[in-house]
Amino acid sequence: MRFDDRRAAGRQLAWRLEFLRGQDIVVAGLPRGGIPVAYEVARALDAPLDVLVVRKLGVPWQPELGFGAIGERGVRVLNDDVLDQTGLGPAEQDTVEQAERSELERRVRCYRPDGGPVPVDGRTVVIVDDGLATGATAEAACQVVRGRGAARIVLAVPVGPASVVARLRRVADDVVCLQTLHFLAAVGAWYHDFTQTSDSEVTELLARAARPTPSPLPPVSAPEPPTHEVEVPATGVRLGGRLVLPRSAPAVVAFAHGSGSSRGSPRNRYVAGVLNRAGLGTLLLDLLTEDEERDRANVFDIVLLARRLHAAALWLSDETALTVGCFGASTGAAAALEAAAVPDSGIRAIVSRGGRPDLTTATAMEQVRAPTLLVVGSRDTRVLGLNRRAAERLHCVHRLAVVPGATHLFTEPGTLQAAARLACDWFTTHLARPIPATPHGRSA
């Protein structure tokens, strides 16, 4: 999914950062291209906007290839892999750094003519750029604000490589990336309009953000994509569903509900909304008819649920021509794993929230190839133990993510939002990747 321009990308990024609303935050944009993105984020969250001046250190004969970055207060970050590949010597590095340091100081004077940076001591700082390439400038930016006393750092970008995002999770406290890709040739390729941002545009946006407003700006809300009530054919029955397909959606996620819930589940509808705002399609689906739900045994008939979900995944692929993922909760997660083990299921990625993978057959667990994320609350101790044992049985790319303070239903403040972000990042990362032909037996 390509963004129209930086401002549009900023509005989409703001939707994903709504969990920060009301907290003591500062939005810091990286000039120049990150400022239009950051402006929209700050505007949506009613937060102060600042500029965080960092400079990429480019290889002299290939300036777009960064061997490091510098920031204010003498921060310097080097990329050893690029230095090894290019053989760039210390003298050549120093020449580049001196020139970039001079430009960094010029920009600081240009962007902050009347004073210093916005204080960040003890606050949450949201560092925003228009995309990640090597990640060196983002890493330098994190070091700058960490040195200024930030209590928490959230790095937020519209697009970036999965390997760089994973590395930066060790530098920032949280990384929010709308589109995490396996391969990223150039950030600009993911924008329809990637016109260079000028110094005057940076200063104008900073000045506009600093002007007082009569009242707080309302939160930016995503335009609601069309919702279609559908009937999905399965063996002998037709299952009710709610299909939402944002414009240019790259993939669609089928929801397998837990015991006793339906497509009206408020928790799954919330997660589906997060995925929709990130541009993913969703299908909220009832795996049982009303009559079947009256028999409690059907809720735990994982084979039946898996057959229904398998049929739904095939129908969804045929109807939309999109890559299909699956989000399962409780017994629905067991059904998702069971269905994904079928070779022709077409399920390309799985997220389990508070799932019961112990109800999935051992054979199916060994045959799952779709990258699988197991999300469990730290206070849901029994299910956490079940998921830890399940993770040891998976031979696909997988990860166990524990949400601090969450119980089984994720009703504690902020916990469902955290689970939704994890799911969104997992699907945007893995639905664009081919499924490995052979088991990896490792965690992503």
pLDDT in the model for residue 54: 83
Q: How confident is the model at residue 260 (pLDDT cuts 50, 70, 90)?
A: low
For the chain, the distance separating the N- and C-terminal CA atoms, rounded to the nearest angstrom, is 23
pTM equals: 0.53
Looking at the chain, the domain(s) classified CATH 3.40.50.1820 span: 227-430
Tell whether the model's pLDDT for residue 257 goes beyond 50.
yes
Tell me the per-residue pLDDT of 286-343, one tens digit each, with 9 for 90 and over.
888 878 877 778 878 999 999 999 999 999 999 999 999 999 999 999 999 999 999 8
pLDDT in the model for residue 212: 59
Return the higher-pLDDT residue of 437 and 67: 67
Say how far apart CA 326 and CA 351 lie, in whole Å: 6
Mean pLDDT over residues 269-282, rounded? 91
Tokens of 105: 């100081």
Q: Please report which helix (H) or strand (E) contains residue 90, including its range.
A: helix 90-111
Q: Class of 6-210 per CATH?
A: alpha beta
Tokens of 73: 């207060």
pLDDT in the model for residue 261: 56
* Cα separation values, 158 from 41, 278, 432, Å: 11, 10, 16
Say how far apart CA 295 and CA 311 lie, in whole Å: 22
**Cβ pair 279, 294 in contact under 8 A:** no
DSSP structural state of residue 387:
H
Mean pLDDT over residues 102-122, rounded? 84
Overall fold of domain 227-430: Rossmann fold (3.40.50)
Tell whether the model's pLDDT for residue 139 goes beyond 90.
no
pLDDT in the model for residue 414: 83
Tell whether the model's pLDDT for residue 111 goes beyond 80.
yes
**Cβ pair 375, 351 in contact under 8 A:** yes
pLDDT in the model for residue 114: 72
Tell me the per-residue pLDDT of 64-91, one tens digit each, with 9 for 90 and over.
677 888 877 777 778 888 889 889 999 9
Looking at the chain, the domain(s) classified CATH 3.40.50.2020 span: 6-210
Mean pLDDT over residues 205-209, rounded? 89
Mean pLDDT over residues 415-443, rounded? 70
Q: Which residue has the tokens 């799911």?
A: 423
Tell whether the model's pLDDT for residue 215 goes beyond 70.
no
Tell whether the model's pLDDT for residue 178 goes beyond 70.
yes
Say how far apart CA 24 and CA 122 lie, in whole Å: 9
Mean pLDDT over residues 218-238, rounded? 76
Q: Which residue has the tokens 């939005």?
A: 27
Which one-letter amino acid corresponds to residue 234? A
For the chain, the average pLDDT equals 86
Tokens of 228: 């279609």
Residue 231 pairs with which residues in a beta bridge? Answer: 240
Which one-letter amino acid corresponds to residue 43? R
Q: How confident is the model at residue 429 (pLDDT cuts 50, 70, 90)?
A: confident
In this structure, the strands spanning 174-181 and 152-161 are parallel
